[in-house]
Amino acid sequence: MHIPNLPPDVLTTIGGFPITNTMVNAWIAIIIFLIFGLFLKKRLSLRPGKLQNVTEYFVELLLGYFDQVTGDRKKTMRFLPLVGSVFFFILLSNWLGLLPGTGSITFGHTMLLRPANTDLNLTVAMAIIAVITSHIFGLITVGVFTHLNKFIQIGTFFKSLRKGPVAIFTAIIEMMVGVIELVSEFAKVLSLSLRLFGNIFAGEVLISVISALAGLLIPTPFMMLELLVGIIQAAVFTMLTLVYLTVMTSVPHEEESH
C-alpha cells in the first residue's frame, strides 16, 4: 500500500531545480489546455460546430455565476481570463488525479503522477497570485490613495485633527482596524491554499487506502465523489478569488458620496 507523502516526491533535477510528480501533473494539465485552446481557435466560426457550441455553453454558464458575484458584466469580462483559467486548471488537475495510472505508475521507486493540488507549494502560489492580483486591480481601478486608505486610513486621521479629540480617537481606532484588515490579507492566502490542498490531499489518501484494502471496484463510488469534490473545490477557490477582485475594485461608500 502506497500512501502519498505530505511533500511531493522529487523525480529528478534540472540544473539543481527539483522536478516533482505534482509538477508533471500540472504540466500535463497546462499542455492539454494549450492544445485544446489552439484546436478550438482554428475551428472558431460564425456557424459554430458541436465543440464550439459546448465550449460557449460552459463559458456562458460561468459568466452567469460570475455576474452574481460582480454584479456587473463588464467586471466579469475583465476578470474572466484570470478566474476562468484558475477554475479550469484546478478542475482539470483535480480530475487528472483520478485517471487510471495516477499513483501506480512509478519512476524508479516514486510515483510518476500525483494530483497537482496535493502539493501545498502550488496551492500557496495560486493563492498568493489571487490576492496580489486583486490588489493590483484595486490600485489600477480606484487609485493608489483610495486603495491604501481601505487598510491604513491616513487621510481620515489627518482630517480628524481638525475635528477634536473624539474624532482623533475614532480615527486611531479605524487605523487599528485597518491594520487588522491588512493582516487578514495574509489570512486569505492561508485560507485559500490550505482549503484546496487539504481536501484534495485527503481524497487522494482515502482512495489510495481503499484501493489497497478493497481492490479495484470498491473505490469506484469514492472516485465518483472525488469528481464532485474536484468541481466544488475549483468553484470555491474561483469564487473567493472573484470576491477578492470585486471588493478590491469597488470604491468605498464614503468615497462615492464624496
What are the structural domain ranges in the chain? 10-257
Cell of 48: 459554430
Closest residue by Cα to residue 68 from 249, 239, 200, 245: 239
Q: In the predicted model, is pLDDT for residue 20 greater than 70?
A: yes
Tell me, what's the pLDDT at 257? 44
Weakest-pLDDT range from 24-33, 185-194, 248-257: 248-257
CA distance 68 to 46: 28
CA 46 to chain centre: 33
Structural contact between residues 66 and 80, judged by C-beta atoms closer than 8 angstroms: yes
**pLDDT, tens digit, 9 for 90 and up, residues 39-71:** 888 888 878 888 888 888 988 988 999 999 998
Q: In the predicted model, is pLDDT for residue 101 greater than 90?
A: no
Size of the chain in residues: 258
CA distance 2 to 213: 11
pTM above threshold 0.75:
yes
Tell me, what's the pLDDT at 97? 73
Percent of the chain with pLDDT over 90: 28
Structural contact between residues 122 and 116, judged by C-beta atoms closer than 8 angstroms: yes
Weakest-pLDDT range from 6-15, 32-41, 67-76: 6-15
Tell me, what's the pLDDT at 96? 83
Tell me, what's the pLDDT at 1? 47
Q: How many CB atoms lie within 10 A of CB 141?
A: 16
